[in-house]
Amino acid sequence: MFGNKPIGTPQSIGFLLVPQFSMMAFTTSIEPIRAANRMAGKTLYTWHIYSLDGKAVTASNNVEITPDGALTDALDHDVLFVCSGLRARKYLNKPMSGVLRSLARRGVAMGAVCTGTIILADAGLLDGYRCTLHWEYIEGFAEIYPDHDITARVYEIDRNRYTCSGGTAPLDMMVHSIALDHGEKLANEVADQMLHGFDRERQRRQRPTLKARTNITHAKLLAAIGYMESHTESLISMSSLAKTVELSPRQLERLFKQYLHTTPARYYLELRLIRASQLVKQTGLTLLQIAVSTGFSSQSHFSRVYARQFGHAPSFDRS
């Protein structure tokens, strides 16, 4: 099995490209195994590319890829990676899920990069497995699949399931798997070829710390923002927030004005609306469900505030 000291080589890897897939996530998946062959001086890995129907498929950057065949042709691989990107849920369908389940029953290991995790989960192939996906989609995924063991790590390998957050993270996962297959010497050579430090630990979280993301060093302001981010559904009052971070309401107001040029209440509202926008675009939850899960008293109130923030109703983003 891929990433588990193969008995023989080459190992065969399939890539299913779903429309609007992330080109970066795909290329950082395939380039390390190409480099492994080159550095080893022999064919350690082979690969084939598939689309749902065997026709050309377009990435989110509008680059078109001509596959080797349709998904139904992907019969004898050691592992099949599902590569998707924007609006993965739009492309969910029962025939695709059925083929993926059939391949899994045949002993093909299943992998996903970026939002491909959504497609594997919809097919029931991540039940009982630890998994991850791109941080922007984690909250929406958790709403739809609350029983899944979802993490915010760079990648997860749980038995014969490989899930990855996208971007450059597939490079880390592939280099790690090459090390398991053929030793760290080759894996380091591959990483060097990619100008990439070997290798980011699986345990590393995808996103920088709150301090790095905001460029704020004030400890109590960071604590206030972090508390807001963890309470987008069960709302907190600004007076309660100030008490939690051991500030007076006036001090809290001053800090937000000084560092963020806004009020605490406005910043909190924008956080909730950003989360609501993600749920509108990434899930099939009703607008009422989204309103409730982001702390709004009613769907009509939510829609009005959403429209003021983004210039259009939530139904526009859903369409």
194 pLDDT tier (thresholds 50, 70, 90): confident
Position 278 scores a pLDDT of: 82
Position 257 scores a pLDDT of: 92
Rounded Cα distance between 287 and 279, Å, is 9
Report domain extents, the chain: 11-193, 210-318
CATH of 210-318, one of 3.40.30.10, 1.10.10.60, 3.40.50.620, 3.40.50.10490: 1.10.10.60
DSSP annotation of 72: G
Residues 14, 71 contacting (CB under 8 angstroms)? no
DSSP annotation of 215: T
Tell me the pLDDT tens digit for each residue of 11-37.
999 999 999 999 999 999 999 999 999
Rounded Cα distance between 229 and 272, Å, is 8
Position 5 scores a pLDDT of: 65
208 pLDDT tier (thresholds 50, 70, 90): low
Please give the backbone phi and psi of residue 74, each rounded to the nearest 5 degrees, phi first: -85, 80
Looking from the CA of 285 toward its CB, the CA atoms found within 13 Å total 26
Range with lowest mean pLDDT among 52-56, 103-107, 208-212, 243-247: 208-212
CATH of 11-193, one of 1.10.3720.10, 3.40.50.880, 3.40.50.300, 3.20.20.60: 3.40.50.880
Tell me the pLDDT tens digit for each residue of 253-294.
999 999 999 999 999 999 899 888 888 887 778 899 889 888
Position 319 scores a pLDDT of: 67
Tell me the pLDDT tens digit for each residue of 124-161.
999 999 999 988 888 888 888 888 999 888 899 999 99
Position 206 scores a pLDDT of: 56
Position 318 scores a pLDDT of: 80
64 pLDDT tier (thresholds 50, 70, 90): very high
The answer on pLDDT for 42 being more than 90 is: yes
Position 207 scores a pLDDT of: 58
The answer on pLDDT for 200 being more than 60 is: no
Average pLDDT over residues 105-111: 94
CA dihedral for 138, 142, 145, 151, sign (positive or negative): positive
197 pLDDT tier (thresholds 50, 70, 90): low
The answer on pLDDT for 209 being more than 80 is: no
Whether 11-193 shares its CATH topology with 210-318 is answered no
Alpha-carbon distances of 249 from 10, 217, 231, 243, 252, rounded to whole Å: 64, 20, 18, 8, 5
The answer on pLDDT for 67 being more than 70 is: yes
pTM listed for this prediction:
0.75
In a 3-state reduction of DSSP, which class is residue 46?
A: strand
97 pLDDT tier (thresholds 50, 70, 90): very high
The answer on pLDDT for 6 being more than 70 is: no
pLDDT averaged over every residue in the chain: 88
The answer on pLDDT for 217 being more than 90 is: no
